Every structure is written in structure tokens, then in C-alpha cells.
């Protein structure tokens, strides 16, 4: 398989290779140059967290139940698939819910932009960002983007019947009160060297777990989990849940929407792999598990905005392949290009929590059934507790 990292991807790899726990002396010298910047970044994040802790009156609360999904490291923990899974889990149990995300790299003009509702897409990835549009393909409730999540929640509070909001990538969004705070940790990538950005992959120090209600360990293959000792030391009795991210279907553009097909469509076929995500390795592992033959792969920067030149490069690579396979996040941006009919598709990733799902459900329903008087609601939402 030919693997080509394009644009800033190669430069990013030069940084991330310095995040390994053990480095040769030459890389150690380069890493040491990042320590002053990491120290300043840590001081800024610590001061910000202290501000919201000392001045809680400036934090905003909502009459809706707020459930946050986030992490402590950069990229690749499965936040967006898990936020989508959580929102659909709420709906399955009779809780009308919405999703709010930042809309990274979106160019929306309003403070809060409605992306989709009732399965109808209201705006595209250029305006709303790729992740919000991707989620709209699998979630029928309202999806909004806002740089300040509270701006979106103020709009959603006016909607009759809505009971809960799932925040995607919001653990560091300290302005907003939340009823359930879930932190994801990727078992395969771990904590790197444990340092703060840019000297390591950490957004915050592990003591920030004090704000969390539970830790969700994600992995792309079921197997034993060995948590780092530093993470275990900061759990403080919080429950640890497991979530396996695995492909559950193939989707391809059709008649303005996406058609869902069985995984066997690409199993054993010759494919070109296209990715514009932070960590493409799990994507390749999924293709390998399907016994697809990856004849070429093109890696673009995370949240890449594809151009006509990119389309031409992909088409050249695809001449020896039967399918062009990408991620859902990339498909929302690539489907606008005139690829050969039925050649472009994406792996749809699902979440399997196994025995951890009842524990998650207990946490979720527990927070939803709490007395909400302090948040201005007259009664807790009615919950349908039938199996689902």
C-alpha cells in the first residue's frame, strides 16, 4: 500500500512523534524547545479553570439537561461518534434531544446556526463544519453550531418538548453548567508523554478529571484495557466504561442523501483510502479487518476542505481501484465532486458498549431524573425505561 501524507500532515507528524514517552537524544533536544510554550499553555489553561471555579456566578445554566462529551487529549478519541451515539440513546428512551457543537472551521455568520432538523439539512459543511453535517446524516433531532454553546442552548430552550442537549467536544467549555460530564480516553493512543500542548498531546493536566462524572475508554478492537497508572491515580472512584468503535455499514451518496449498504460491499475489494482526520490509523485498521486491498491512500489535514486539484489527485489514484473509501466526515465534503457513479463511499462507524451500556444508561437517566428546580424546570423529564 502506498501511503501519502499531503499538505501540513507531514509537519504535524514531526510534532506528534516528539510526544512519545521515550525519545532518542536527537529528538529529545527538539522536544525541549517545546517545553517553554507548553509551560505557558499550562499556565493559561490553569488560570482559566481557576477563574471559572472562583467566579461560579458567571457560569451559565440551562433549563434543559446538558450532557457533555469531551476529552483531555487532542484528536482521535471518538468524541463525535460517541456524542451521536449518546444523543440517539436518549431519543430511544423517550428523551427528545438536540446536539450542539462548535462547528470547527465553519463560516456561519449567526451566533448560533441551525444545521439540521427532522432529517432535513439546512446548511452545508462550509458554513457549519464537517462534523455537524456528518451527525445530521444519522440523527433526526435538532443540530446546532455555536462558538459559545450557550448561544445555541438559548435558542433550543424555546423549543417545546425538548428535554436534553448533548455537547460535542465540550469538556474544556467551562462557561456552561452541565448535568453529566463524560471524558473519553483512547486506549490505543494513551496519554503520550503526558505533557501539555505543544510538548505533548494533553489539553489539560489529569487533575481536570475532577470535573468528570465518568471516563469512557474507547478502542477500535475489543480486548483487555490497561489504563496508565497516572490516569488511574486521578480517577477518584469515577466509573470507567468501555466503548468499541467499529464499522457497521458502508454509506454512499444517492439522490441527495446517503444510502446505507452492508460492509460486504467493500470487503475484499481494491480500494483507495482517503482521510482528512486527526488519526487515520483506525480507519486503515477497519479496512484491513474487512480484508479490503488498499492500493493507495491519501492523507489530508484534519477538517481539510477539498479542492478540485484534490479531486483530480484522488481520481488518478483510483484508476486501479474499484472503490474510493473515505470517512463520513470527509464524505460530506467529497460528495459534491463528480466521481464515477457509485465509486465513492464511506465507512459508517458505530459504538458498541456491551456490558457498559447499562452503566451509562444509569448515569444518563439518573441525571435526567434529578430534581430540576435549581435549573428552573418545573419537573424532571418523563423517561421511557423499556429496553432499547
Residue 96's CATH number: 3.40.50.300
Only one residue has cell 481536570, namely: 208
What would the pLDDT profile of 187-200 be if each residue is shown by its tens digit? 988 899 999 999 99
Residue 10: predicted pLDDT: 56
Q: How far apart are CA 185 and CA 218, in angstroms?
A: 6
Rounded to two decimals, what is the model's pTM? 0.90
Query: Which 3 state secondary structure label does DSSP give 311?
Result: helix
Only one residue has cell 470487503, namely: 267
Residue 257's CATH number: 3.40.50
- With bands split at pLDDT 50, 70 and 90, how would you rate the model's confidence at 220? confident
* Whether residue 377 has pLDDT greater than 50: no
Would you say 206 and 234 are in contact if contact means Cβ atoms under 8 Å apart? yes
- Does residue 11 fall inside a structural domain? no
Q: How far apart are CA 351 and CA 216, in angstroms?
A: 12
- Does residue 325 fall inside a structural domain? yes
Would you say 127 and 108 are in contact if contact means Cβ atoms under 8 Å apart? yes
* Whether residue 179 has pLDDT greater than 70: yes
Could you tell me if 256 and 330 lie in one domain?
A: yes
Alpha helices in 272-307 (DSSP H): 281-289
Residue 9: predicted pLDDT: 58
Q: Hey, how many other C-beta atoms are within 10 angstroms of the C-beta on 219?
A: 20
Region 144-148: mean pLDDT is 92
- Does residue 23 fall inside a structural domain? no
What would the pLDDT profile of 42-57 be if each residue is shown by its tens digit? 999 999 988 888 877 7
Q: Compute the Cα dihedral for 387, 77, 125, 347 and give only its sign.
A: negative
Short-list 299, 303, 304, CA closest to 273: 299
pLDDT above 70 as % of the chain = 92
β-pairing, 257-261 vs 240-254, is antiparallel
Could you tell me if 104 and 217 lie in one domain?
A: yes
**Total domain count for the chain?**
2
* Whether residue 118 has pLDDT greater than 60: yes
Could you tell me if 176 and 325 lie in one domain?
A: no
Residue 169: predicted pLDDT: 92
- Does residue 112 fall inside a structural domain? yes
Could you tell me if 85 and 177 lie in one domain?
A: yes
* Whether residue 90 has pLDDT greater than 70: yes
Could you tell me if 223 and 253 lie in one domain?
A: no
CA 84 from centroid of its chain's CA atoms: 9
Region 283-301: mean pLDDT is 95
Return the C-alpha cell found at 263: 460492509
Could you tell me if 83 and 149 lie in one domain?
A: yes
* Whether residue 382 has pLDDT greater than 70: no
* Structural domain containing residue 223: 57-244+352-375
Could you tell me if 148 and 158 lie in one domain?
A: yes
Could you tell me if 209 and 262 lie in one domain?
A: no
- Does residue 19 fall inside a structural domain? no
Amino acid at each position: 500500500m502506498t501511503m501519502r501524507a499531503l499538505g501540513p500532515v507531514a509537519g504535524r507528524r514531526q510534532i506528534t512523534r516528539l510526544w512519545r514517552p521515550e525519545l532518542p537524544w536527537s529528538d529529545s533536544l527538539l522536544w525541549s524547545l517545546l517545553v517553554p510554550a507548553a509551560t505557558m499553555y499550562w499556565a493559561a489553561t490553569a488560570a482559566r479553570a481557576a477563574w471559572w471555579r472562583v467566579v461560579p456566578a458567571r457560569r451559565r445554566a440551562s433549563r434543559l439537561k446538558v450532557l457533555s462529551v469531551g476529552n483531555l487529549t487532542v484528536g482521535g478519541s471518538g468524541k463525535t461518534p460517541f456524542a451521536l451515539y449518546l444523543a440517539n440513546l436518549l431519543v430511544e428512551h423517550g428523551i427528545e434531544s438536540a446536539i450542539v457543537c462548535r462547528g470547527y472551521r465553519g463560516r456561519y455568520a449567526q451566533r448560533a446556526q441551525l444545521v439540521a432538523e427532522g432529517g432535513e439539512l439546512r446548511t452545508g459543511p462550509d458554513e457549519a463544519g464537517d462534523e455537524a453535517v456528518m451527525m445530521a446524516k444519522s440523527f433526526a433531532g435538532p443540530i446546532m453550531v455555536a462558538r459559545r454553546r450557550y448561544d445555541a442552548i438559548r435558542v433550543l430552550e424555546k423549543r417545546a418538548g425538548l428535554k436534553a442537549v448533548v455537547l460535542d467536544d465540550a469538556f474544556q467549555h467551562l462557561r456552561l453548567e452541565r448535568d453529566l460530564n463524560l471524558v473519553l480516553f483512547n486506549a490505543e493512543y494513551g496519554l503520550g508523554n503526558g505533557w501539555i500542548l505543544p510538548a505533548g498531546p494533553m489539553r489539560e493536566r489529569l487533575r481536570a478529571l475532577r470535573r468528570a462524572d465518568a471516563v469512557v475508554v474507547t478502542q477500535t478492537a475489543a480486548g483487555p484495557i490497561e489504563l496508565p497508572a497516572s490516569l488511574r491515580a486521578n480517577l477518584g472512584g469515577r466509573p470507567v466504561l468501555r466503548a468499541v468503535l467499529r464499522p457497521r455499514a458502508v454509506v454512499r451518496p444517492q439522490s441527495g442523501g446517503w444510502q446505507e449498504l452492508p460492509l460486504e460491499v467493500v470487503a475484499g475489494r481494491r480500494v483507495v483510502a482517503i482521510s482528512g482526520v486527526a488519526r487515520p490509523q483506525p480507519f486503515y485498521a477497519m479496512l484491513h479487518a474487512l480484508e479490503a486491498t488498499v492500493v493507495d491512500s491519501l492523507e489530508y489535514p484534519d477538517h481539510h476542505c477539498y479542492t478540485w486539484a484534490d479531486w483530480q489527485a484522488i481520481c488518478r489514484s483510483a484508476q486501479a481501484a474499484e472503490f474510493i473509501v473515505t470517512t463520513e466526515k470527509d464524505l460530506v465534503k467529497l460528495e459534491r465532486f463528480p466521481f464515477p457513479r457509485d465509486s465513492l463511499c464511506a465507512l459508517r462507524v458505530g459504538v458498541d458498549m456491551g456490558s457498559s451500556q447499562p452503566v451509562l444508561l444509569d448515569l444518563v437517566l439518573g441525571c435526567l431524573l434529578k430534581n430540576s428546580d435549581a435549573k428552573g424546570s418545573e419537573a424532571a423529564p418523563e423517561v421511557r425505561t423499556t429496553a432499547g
